[in-house]
Amino acid sequence: MAVTPSAAWIAAVRPRTLLVGGTPVLVGLAQAWREAGRLDTGIALLTLLVALAIQVATNLHNDAADFDRGADDPHTRQGPARAVAQGWLPAATVRRAAYAVFGIAVLLGLGLVARGGWPILLLGLAAVGSGLAYTGGPRPLGYLGLGEVFVWAFFGVAAVGGTVYLQTLRLDPQALWLGAVLGFPAAAVLVVNNARDRLADARAGKRTLAVRWGLPAMRSLYAALMLAPVLGLVPLVVQSPWTALGWVTLPWALALVHEMHSHPPGPAYNGLLVATARWEAGFGLLVATGLVLSRALGAP
pLDDT in tens, 258-285: 999 999 988 889 999 999 999 999 999 9
Percent of the chain with pLDDT over 70: 95
Rounded to an integer, the average pLDDT of 87-94 is 92
Quote the pLDDT of residue 42.
96
pLDDT at 140 over 90: no
CB 150 within 8 A of CB 129: no
Mean pLDDT computed over every residue of the chain: 90
d(C-alpha 265, C-alpha 5), whole Å: 30
Q: Report whether 199 contacts 73 (CB < 8 A).
A: no
Q: Which residue has the higher pLDDT, 75 or 176?
A: 176
3-state SS track over 193-255: HHHHCHHHHHHCCCCCHHHHHCHHHHHHHHHHHHHHHHHHHHHHHHHCHHHHHHHHHHHHHHH
Read off the pTM.
0.92
pLDDT in tens, 26-45: 999 999 999 998 999 999 99
pLDDT confidence of residue 143: 80
Per-residue pLDDT at 65: 84
pLDDT band with cut points at 50, 70 and 90 for residue 85: confident
One-letter amino acid of 1: M
Count the residues in the chain: 300
Taking the CA atoms of 167, 147, 133 and 74 in sequence, report the sign of the dihedral they define.
negative
Please classify residue 289 by burial: count the beta carbons closer than 10 Å to its beta carbon, then call 0-12 exposed, 13-18 middle and 19+ buried.
Answer: middle
Q: Are 34 and 240 in contact (CB under 8 A)?
A: yes
Are the beta carbons of 57 and 102 closer than 8 angstroms?
Answer: yes
Nearest to 240, CA basis, from 166, 161, 300: 300
Radius of gyration of the chain (CA): 19
| pLDDT band at residue 137 using 50, 70 and 90 as cut-offs | low
Q: What is the pLDDT of residue 183?
A: 96
Element (H, E) at 39: none
What's at 72, amino acid-wise? D
- Report the C-alpha gap between 3 and 70 in whole angstroms: 22
Alpha carbon distance 278, 86 (integer Å): 27
The count of other CB atoms within 10 Å of the CB of residue 245 is 19
Sign of CA dihedral 63, 65, 67, 71: negative
What is the per-residue pLDDT for 57? 93
The Cα 90–Cα 132 span in angstroms is: 18
Per-residue pLDDT tens over the stretch 49-80: 999 999 999 999 988 888 877 666 655 666 67
**All domains in the chain, ordered by first residue:** 5-296 (1.10.600)
Question: 86 and 94 in contact (C-beta within 8 Å)?
Answer: no
Evaluate whether 252 touches 289 at the Cβ level (below 8 Å). no
State which H helix or E strand residue 283 sits in.
helix 268-296
Neighbours of 154 (CB within 10 A): 26
Q: What is the pLDDT of residues 225-255, one digit of tens each?
A: 999 999 999 999 988 899 999 999 999 999 9
Among residues 233, 234, 278, 285, the alpha carbon closest in space to that of 256 is found at 278
| pLDDT band, residue 82 (cuts 50/70/90) | confident
pLDDT digits (tens, 9 = 90+) for 177-222: 999 999 999 999 999 999 998 988 888 788 899 999 999 999 999 9
